[in-house]
Chains A and B, each alone.
Chain A
Amino acid sequence: MEPVDLTAALGPVLGDRLLGVEAFPRSAGRIRFERSGALDLFRAVRDSLGFRHLSMVGGIDWTDHREVFYVVWSDDRREYLFLSTDVPADDPHVESASGIWPSANWHEREAWELVGIEFDHHPDLRHLLTPDGYEFRPLLRSFKLHEPEELEVKTRHV
C-alpha cells in the first residue's frame, strides 16, 4: 500500500498543533502533537485515515515532563501508527480518547493510576490495578523500588 502522507492529511486539521511527523520502523509513522489538538487529531486519524483500532495508551515519565503515547492500527492499511504528546509534569492533563475509541477506557485508567496522567472527560477514571485510595504513582521515576511505602488499603465494597 502507498505510504500515507501524514503531514498533508493532518496539517490542515491541526495547523500549529501538529508538532512533527517522524518515521518509525515498520509503521505508518509517528506523530507528535500539541495536547490541545488531541480530539481533532484522534477524530481525523480514525475517520479520515481509517485507524479504527486503538491498541494501547501509555505514559512515560521523563522527570521534567511526561509523554502520553497512543498506538493505533488500521485494518485497511495493515499497519500501526504512533501518536505522542508531551504534558508538563505539574499539569499532566490531556483529553481522554475514550469518546473516539472506547477501547482507550481501561488503558487510560491504567496510565492515570500508574503514571499519573489526568485524562479529562474520561467516563470512568477509577483505580484498575491498584487498590482504591492508593495515592502513589508507581511508574514515576521518583517512586523508588527499594524504599518500602506504608499503605493502608481500603476495601472497596463494604
Chain B
Amino acid sequence: MSEMWINMGPQHPMTHGLWNLRVLIDGEMIVDVDPEMGYLHRGIEKISEDRHYNEVITLMDRCCYVAGFAWEHLYIIASEEALHLEPPERAQYLRVLCDEFQRIASHLMWYAAFVQDLGLMSPFLYGMRDRDLVLDLFQSYTGARMTYEYMRVGGVRSDLPPGFTDHARKVLDWLTDRFVEYDQLCLGSDIFRKRCDDLGTLKATDCVTHGVTGPMLRSAGQKRDLRKDRPYAVYDQLEFDVALADSADVTGRYLVRMEEMRQSVRLLRQVLDWLDRHPGPVLADRLPRWLGAPYAPVGKEGYLLKRNYPKGVGFSAVEEPHGEAQAYVVNEGGEHPYRVKFRSPVFANISAARQYLVGYHVADIPPIMGSVDVCVGEVDR
C-alpha cells in the first residue's frame, strides 16, 4: 500500500491548541510524524527585552494559560537571581501555594481533555467542575482566574483575604474524595485499560536522550523531580513523595498525574498550616522603588530611572505541571533584561513525538497525544 502524509491540525480535536501534526500513514499504521509548531508564536522572548522586569510577568501568564503561576514563578526566580534580591519567607510559601494549586488545576484540565479524547464525556464535566473550584480560589486572592499577575520580583502582590485558608481546606477535602471517583471511572473500566495499556510507550533511556521530562519521564520509572533534586522556594522544608509509575505508557502517565495531585494536596495542607501560623510581609522592603510599587509611576520618566544593577545571569528551573521549565535571564545593567530564554517542557516532549507515535495506529494518536498534555502557548512562546 502506498504511504501518504495527512495533516492533523491546526484545527483538530486532538491538538488542544493550535499546532499541526503531520502524519505519514501506511493504511492505518503510523510510519513517520512531523509536528509543526509556530501558530501561536508571539515572540515573548523578544518582547521581554523591551519591558521592565515586573512587566514581563504579564507575558508569563500567557506563556502557558493553564499553568500561569508556574511560569511566573520560573521567571521570578531567575530575575531575583540576576538582580540579587531575596523575597520574604511568607512570599515563598504563598508562591508554593500558587504552584501546587496550579498543578492541580492544570492536571484537572488535562484529565478533562484526556478522557474526552477517549470518548468519555462525563469525566470531562467532572474535571472541569472541580477545576473551577480551584479557579475560584485564585480569583479570591488575585482577582483573576487564568492570568493572575500575582507574583512580583521581590515577593508577591498581596496577602490572602480573611478566611481563605479554611475555604481552601474545604476545597482540598472535596478534591480528595473526587480523586477516588476519577480512579473508579477510569482505572476501574476495562475499556479504559484496554485503550491505554501498552500505548505510546517511551522508555526512560529514550526520555533522557530526547529531553522528555515531567510526568512522562516519571511514568517510565525515573525518579526525577526538581522540587526534590534542586529545591526552589521552600520545597525542601515540606514533605511529599515523587509520583512514579513503571509502565511508561498512557496508563502510567495517568497514574503519575493522579498521584501528583494527591501529593499536591498533601503539600498544600502543610503550606496552609504554615500560613495560618506565620503572618508577615509578602514583599521585600528596600526594593528599588519601581519594583516595590508596580502600579505607581515614579518620577517624570515613569519607571525609567537610571539604576545600577549588577551585571549577571540568572538561571532558574522549576517543576512545571508539564515537566521541567527553565529560564535564563541575562542582565546587562539596564532596566530591561538583555536576553530572556525559556525552556518549555512541552516543546521537548513534542519534539520526541516520533519516538512514541511511530508503529501505532492512527486511532491511537488522540490518546497518546492526550497523555503528553500539550500546551501550545508555552511551546511557541
Do the two chains bind?
Answer: yes
Which A residues lie at the B interface, using CB under 8 A? 24-27, 52-56, 58, 60-61, 69, 71, 75, 78-80, 82, 101-103, 105-107, 114, 127-131, 138-139, 143, 145, 156-157
- In the complex, the answer to whether A80 meets B317 with C-beta atoms within 8 Å is yes
- B339 contacts A60, C-beta separation under 8 Å: yes
Q: Is the CB of B37 within 8 A of A71?
A: no
Say yes or no: B315 contacts A143, CB within 8 Å: no
Query: If the complex has contacts A71-B328, A129-B37, A156-B36, are A143 and B211 also in contact, measured as CB distance less than 8 A?
Result: no
B238 interfacial by beta-carbon distance below 8 Å? no
Point out the residue from B41, B317, B328 that lies within 8 Å of A130, measured CB to CB: B41
State whether the Cβ of B347 lies closer than 8 Å to any Cβ in chain A: yes
- Please determine whether B209 and A101 come into contact, CB atoms closer than 8 angstroms: yes
In which size bucket is the chain B interface?
A: 35 or more
In the bound complex, residues from chain A placing their C-beta under 8 Å from that of B5 are 157
Number of A-B contacts (CB under 8 A): 85
B81 within 8 A of A: yes
Nearest residue (CB) in A for B22 is A157
B46 interface hit (Cβ, 8 Å)? yes
State in angstroms the CA–CA spacing of A109 and B38 once bound together.
Answer: 12
CA distance A102 to B351 in the complex (A): 10
Q: Given known contacts A60-B330, A128-B37, what 17 new A-B pairs fall within 8 Å (CB)?
A: A52-B209, A55-B343, A56-B343, A71-B326, A71-B328, A71-B343, A78-B230, A79-B230, A101-B209, A101-B211, A103-B352, A106-B348, A114-B45, A129-B41, A130-B41, A138-B46, A145-B50
B224 at interface, CB cutoff 8 A: yes
Q: B36: which A residues are within 8 A, CB to CB?
A: 156
* B315, A58: Cβ atoms closer than 8 Å: no
The residues of B that contact A129 with a CB separation of less than 8 Å are: 37-38, 41, 380-381
